[in-house]
Structure 1
Amino acid sequence: MSPSTKSGSQGERAEPPTTRERRRNPRVTVPWPAIVQSSDGRLVTGEVIDVSLSGMKLRVNADVTVGDEVKLRVTLPREAGELEVTAEVVRRDPGGIGVDFGTLPPDAAVKVKAFVPTWDLRRRAERVGVELPIQIQGHEATTKGRTVDLSAVGARVTTETRLTPGDMVATTFTPKDGQGAMQVRAVVWEVDARGAVLVFASLSLHDFVRLRSFVDSLLARAS
């Protein structure tokens, strides 16, 4: 793993965030595989539990202590590549470690910001319960399902085949607005007993406006 840059034009130096600042940053639950490299060079595999713009919590049995600097290599959802960053261990408990990003190189900052704000936007976006047939093309297979709820930036769906968190998929569905089918790429953000949450990853302005208008019309009808 190549070390991240700590200062100068090649990186973004941030002051260590306070506890209040860390809590204020949107924190997203994710199941991303990770490799943690300690200061003595040992590599340990683990999994990201959650991530924010200021840090991560990881489930990993690494021999590190609070204050140690570690290098992280995180496998992002398909087609998004890997995130490599140096971080400081700020928490350690039986469930794993918490790290703060003291330095985010530009490429790492872009990758983190591409995921967390999108998820935060979905959490705040108005959603409406609506059942629409949906087809989902994954990395290896296609499955059919139905939407449970829909917003302008994502959807919760139930499917015939269980989806895998972190996968990038292609969806096809038809809002009942007389404009035909939509094809939208999405990230499978989480999967639970209620179905899978999809976050749309490549909406054009036209599709975003169309979905928002469709959702608004259903909400107005229900009020």
Structure 2
Amino acid sequence: MSNIVDKTKEYCLKIIRESNCKYLAFHNEEHTLDVLRNVRIIGEYEKISERDMEILKIAALFHDTGFSLDYSCHEESSVILANNFLKQNNYKSDKLQTVISLILATKMPQNPMCEIEKILCDSDLFHLASDNFIVKNKLLRTEWENQINLKFEDLDWLNLNIEFLQNHKYKSNFGCIKLEKDKLKNIVLLEKEIKSKYSN
């Protein structure tokens, strides 16, 4: 990794480890490092430039740091943290503006406008297609209960997630080719759980 990526990683992980983020069940250090890894995987598949890879890695590291300041508007808070840090480190203004656009593109509902925004969005929701989706999903449910007092009955939670996965579409070429089919497997898993628990 380039020097600025290394510095960004150190700075962002320090924020996460020393703030409310360390208590988050899902949006924590593990998730940030997962997204960092995912942008590398997808970015290499898409054959993006070294410049774009650097910008993507920085955006991935910053994209959830805003949870340390504001849970409900964390993307905007992440932008503030990224803007301040990167300006202090004399990061080029055009690349800084791209980092900001990338972070804001992850806001739900996602609406990425260019290739690297699509890569970050798919990296952020990579877990929807992963083998550990069920585990990750439980962590998100716990986080919502603890942080914003959002609670669901089991059946409602299952139906909510089926609807979300069905409506979601991966945006990058990698996502469409590699992730979409595995996401469908997780929809089937949720449907089977409903059938086994709630069918008479």
TM-score (norm 2): 0.29
Greater relative contact order (CA < 8 Å, ≥ 6 in sequence)? 2
Rg larger in 1 or in 2?
A: 1
Higher relative helix content: 2
